[in-house]
Amino acid sequence: MVPRFYKKKKKLLVRTQSLQTFLLNLKNKKMSFNITTEIASFGGNLLKLTHFSSTLGCEMSLNLYLPNTNNTTTTITTSTTKFENDKQIKFPVLFFLSGLTCTGDNCAEKGFLQYAASQKRIAIIYPDTSPRGLNIPGEDDSYDFGTGASFYLDATQSPWSTNYNMETYITVELPKELFAYFPQLDSSRISITGHSMGGHGALMLFLKNPGMYQSVSAFAPICNPIKCSWGQKAFSGYLGVEAENSEKWKMNDATELVQKWSGGSFRCLIDVGTNDQFYKQKQLLPENLAEAARKTGMDQDLVIRYQEGYDHSYYFVSSFASDHVNHAAKFFFA
């Protein structure tokens, strides 16, 4: 027969353990990710994740590709599990920023960056393109402003300034949480790339954060947003009219930023299709970035390739995806 005092002690112990578990789960809920799907891809795993962003004030979705470690499917390791040994491989990280109307799924499903990433053992992060579901008036009125069209900046104009803080999300909150939750990601080796609006984001964030990224590349990027209608519309809404906020505009424009760059080698690769309708419409303006880089002596570190016959689609992105992964790898493994 079990003594009564022992039963009480055991019951109290169980309650204490339950409280500790509850508090631990509560803490993890604030700082962790929910893995909704795991998809085998080129020997590794593409993870579909959700988490709550305090920077954006909403639930966010993203994709994370983890390559294989020993020619087998990657074992998922998070901060809640132990390393198999202290010498477990840490993967350098490549951020891919998508373009207007996209989510973190588009390139993960159609860009085929995972093929080269699996060979080079590079992890890829595919964030979403904006906060979602905030019910801000005008948020869903057009494809090139609001939902799916953040331009990866921190808005300063109401009502957007409360939630549309994608620069802080991409450069501070998201990497901090990912590196804490997935210890196989190497926080000392990060590079960034992107397509269209995401190419603008990649160039802008690289130039605004010297030393954060080891290289940058872009597919058909919006290189000079203050000179094109897409950028002018977005900047007017997020930052205020140019006449009163010209410096804010310039601080979010790669062509302006490259003229003030003092962070060493530019390490930049850009591809643009000659049959890209938006290139023809002067939305991209890579020639303006090239001229600004030439004037400041940065053109030696800038490679812009005009790919004959290619358009703006993911057929174009997937055709040169391996080149951009290899561009990042060149500096990761130098």
Residues with catalytic function: 196, 276, 312
Q: Report DSSP letters for 213-266, one per residue.
A: -S-EEEES----GGGSHHHHHHHHHHH--HHHHHHHHHTT-HHHHGGG--SS--
Supply angle C-alpha 130, 135, 137, rounded to 5: 100
Bridge partner residues of 95 (DSSP): 125, 192
Residue 243, CB half-sphere, CA atoms under 13 Å: how many? Answer: 0
Kind and range of the H or E run holding 278: helix 277-280
* Main-chain phi, psi angles of 52, to 5 degrees: -95, 130
Which contacts qualify for 160-163: CB closer than 8 Å, 24 or more apart? 160/136, 160/237, 160/238, 162/57, 163/56, 163/57, 163/58, 163/131, 163/134, 163/136
Judge contact between 225 and 151, C-beta under 8 A: yes
Bridge partner residues of 303 (DSSP): 269
For residue 277, the SS3 value is helix
